[in-house]
């Protein structure tokens, strides 16, 4: 896992599909200025409040945990449980890719990339990989999309497809 080019792909469709526009809803909820926090867990989840970072990376808008931990004086972004969020929007402004990457410096930080295959297929795709492979996000998305779409039958009428 530390030095192999692994990726893990999962597909959610049917009853497990989160619905049209799920990436926009996920992004809005994740990047809300003040996410709803249980009072007992407010300190533990302070690193879940995001701010947009000044520079894009790999064509993605970057968001990181905002603020500094008053107990340690270290940025929340350096917390072992903190994640950075990367978002790619289409020309229409809709989120086309949502990526969350861990900041764990003690082990291998990983990324979870989410995207939809709409309008071709109502499917949520999750691709997991090491954070040092983030620069390849667009290639992963393209290759995974092509591979999954190759499984479709030429006859899209479900009543005529052999079961």
> C-alpha 82: how far from its chain's center?
14
Is pTM beyond 0.95? Reply is no
- CA–CA separation, 23 and 92 (whole Å): 14
Q: What is the pLDDT of residue 70?
A: 85
Q: Can you give the C-alpha Rg of the chain in angstroms?
A: 18
Phi and psi angles of residue 97, each rounded to the nearest 5 degrees, phi first: -145, 135
pLDDT at 126: 98
pLDDT at site 40: 47
Strand partners, 11: 125
* Local confidence pLDDT in tens for the 163 residues of the chain: 667 778 999 999 999 999 999 999 999 998 876 655 554 455 556 777 899 999 999 999 999 998 888 888 988 888 878 899 999 999 999 999 999 999 876 667 899 999 999 988 899 999 999 999 999 999 999 999 999 999 876 665 555 444 4
Q: Where are the beta strands (DSSP E) in 13-60?
A: 50-52
The pLDDT, as a whole number, for residue 158 is 54
Please report where in the chains the tokens 């190759």 appear, as a residue.
150
pLDDT at 107 (0 to 100) = 64
Task: Give every strand in the sheet of 110-116, ordered side by side.
Answer: 7-12, 124-130, 110-116, 95-102, 83-89, 61-65, 50-52
Q: What is the pLDDT of residue 80?
A: 78
Q: Look up residue 33 and give its two tokens.
A: 């200025």
Strand pairing partners for 10? 126
How far apart, in whole angstroms, are the C-alpha atoms of residue 100 and residue 27? 10
């Amino acid at each position: 896992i530390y030095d192999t080019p692994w990726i893990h792909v999962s597909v959610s469709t049917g009853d497990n599909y989160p619905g049209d526009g799920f990436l926009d809803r996920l992004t809005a909820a994740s990047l809300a200025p003040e996410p709803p926090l249980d009072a007992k867990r407010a300190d533990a989840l302070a690193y879940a409040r995001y701010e947009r970072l000044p520079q894009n990376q790999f064509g993605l808008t970057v968001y990181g945990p905002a603020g500094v931990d008053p107990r340690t004086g270290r940025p929340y972004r350096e917390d072992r449980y903190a994640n950075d969020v990367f978002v790619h929007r289409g020309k229409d402004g809709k989120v086309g890719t949502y990526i969350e990457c861990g900041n764990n410096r003690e082990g291998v930080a990983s990324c979870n990339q989410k995207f939809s295959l709409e309008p071709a297929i109502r499917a949520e795709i999750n691709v997991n990989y090491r954070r040092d492979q983030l620069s390849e996000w667009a290639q992963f998305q393209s290759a995974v999309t092509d591979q999954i779409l190759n499984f479709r039958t030429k006859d899209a009428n479900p009543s005529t497809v052999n079961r």
